């Protein structure tokens, strides 16, 4: 295993050089009003002269189509400290965006989660006991809170020049924070969006696979996920581990990986000590014109596959993609329209709903 090593970042991949780009100033939403004890994002975006940024070691070779080790200093940002994340969690409770997994899951388990703690704990109790072994809470779609929307935008902004060389038109920036006490895992899964994943506190092992690896996740499994949000066919097998890029991360380490790259995490107790036993990471995800076009191609490919054909995967045939994408956009729009029309007649969400960014 090749090891790229900074003071604490070990990754099974090729070594990179170091880059310290000048961050572009991000637009900042109006700070939250009417709440006490909440950090003002606008005041803290560059607090005490600190310029927060994400940077690539080799800007010339950075590609949005490749898994890449990055670095950042957002772990020092006031809004990413545990006390502020506890405040955030309280604000997310009404949205049911504090998510919990059942005890005893493994990386091979299905990635199912619920808005209720399995033991019925309140969010205050969850954070009061967050250092207990096996504690796990995820804060989903934190961009619904304006100060965090601004913070997420600033993270993407620092990488925008490198991203938009290949994938212009960034939209729908979302954030998913994972807070846990080892031993803990996040199961194997894929996402629709591109991901800038940051380790904020503690340590964590991240395994990521190339999004083109059809041995690990078959083409029809990707299509089912893109079109129907189904992970039923996305399952981890131990023999896949050797095919992954494995990152041993601590605060200041980051990983970029493209849309539909399979990934999972784990954290053990080897690094923990009293007062320092919580691992926190955040996935900052976003769509682009390219992810939208690829999703449109998946829409058509799924129909072709159901008809018994074996269509080229998005990116394999630019000519085929150019023909499929407009049709896929119409298919996605029709699916969404059908969902809206039927929704009042159903108590459950229509399974065929087109996901965000797919048309």
Return the pLDDT at 345.
Answer: 66
210 pLDDT above the threshold of 70: yes
Q: How confident is the model at residue 337 (pLDDT cuts 50, 70, 90)?
A: confident
Burial of 148 (0-12, 13-18, 19+ CB in 10 A): buried
Average pLDDT estimate for 211-227: 95
Q: How confident is the model at residue 334 (pLDDT cuts 50, 70, 90)?
A: confident
15 pLDDT above the threshold of 50: no
CA distances for 191 relative to 44, 162, 187, 260, 320, angstroms: 30, 21, 12, 5, 24
CA distances for 147 relative to 52, 56, 87, 152, 236, angstroms: 15, 25, 12, 9, 36
Phi, psi of 312 (to 5 degrees): -65, 140
d(CA 208, CA 174): 20
Instruction: Give pLDDT tens digits for 163-190.
Output: 999 999 999 999 999 999 999 999 999 9
Return the pLDDT at 358.
Answer: 53
| Predicted model pTM | 0.84
Tell which residue, 148, 203, 142, has the closest CA to residue 176: 142
d(CA 51, CA 229): 37
Chain mean pLDDT for the chain = 86
**Percent residues over pLDDT 70 in the chain:** 81
d(CA 185, CA 206): 10
Return the pLDDT at 12.
Answer: 53
Domains of the chain and any CATH numbers: 11-30+50-209+244-287 (2.60.120.650), 294-345 (no CATH)
């Amino acid at each position: 295993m090749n090891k790229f090593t900074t003071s604490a970042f070990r990754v099974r991949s090729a070594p990179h050089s170091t880059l310290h780009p000048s961050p572009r100033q991000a637009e900042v939403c109006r700070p939250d009003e009417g709440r006490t004890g909440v950090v003002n994002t606008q005041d803290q975006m560059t607090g005490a002269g600190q310029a927060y940024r994400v940077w690539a070691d080799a800007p010339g070779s950075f590609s949005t189509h490749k898994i890449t080790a990055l670095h950042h200093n957002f772990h020092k940002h006031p809004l990413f400290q545990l006390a502020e994340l506890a405040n955030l969690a309280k604000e997310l409770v009404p949205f049911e965006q504090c998510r919990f997994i059942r005890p005893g899951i493994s990386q091979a388990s299905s990635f199912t989660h619920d808005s209720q703690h399995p033991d019925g704990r309140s969010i205050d109790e969850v954070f009061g006991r967050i250092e207990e072994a096996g504690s796990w809470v995820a804060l989903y779609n934190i961009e619904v809170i304006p100060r965090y929307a601004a913070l997420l935008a600033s993270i993407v902004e620092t990488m925008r020049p490198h991203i938009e060389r290949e994938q212009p038109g960034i939209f729908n920036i979302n954030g998913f924070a994972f807070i846990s006490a080892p031993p803990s895992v996040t199961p194997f899964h894929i996402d629709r969006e591109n991901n800038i994943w940051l380790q904020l506190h503690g340590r964590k092992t991240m395994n990521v696979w190339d999004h083109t690896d059809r041995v690990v996740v078959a083409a029809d499994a990707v299509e089912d996920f893109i079109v129907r949000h189904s992970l039923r066919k996305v399952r981890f097998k131990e023999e896949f581990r050797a095919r992954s890029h494995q990152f041993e991360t601590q605060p200041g380490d980051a990983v970029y990986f493209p849309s539909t790259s399979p990934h999972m995490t784990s954290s053990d107790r080897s690094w923990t000590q009293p007062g320092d036993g919580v691992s926190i990471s955040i996935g900052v995800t976003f769509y682009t014109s390219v992810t939208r076009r690829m999703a449109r191609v998946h829409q058509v490919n799924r129909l072709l596959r159901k008809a018994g054909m074996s269509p080229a995967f998005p990116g394999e045939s630019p000519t085929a993609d150019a023909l499929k994408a407009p049709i896929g956009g119409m298919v996605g729009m029709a699916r969404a329209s059908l969902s809206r029309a039927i929704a009042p007649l159903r108590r459950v969400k229509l399974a065929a709903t087109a996901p965000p960014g797919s048309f």
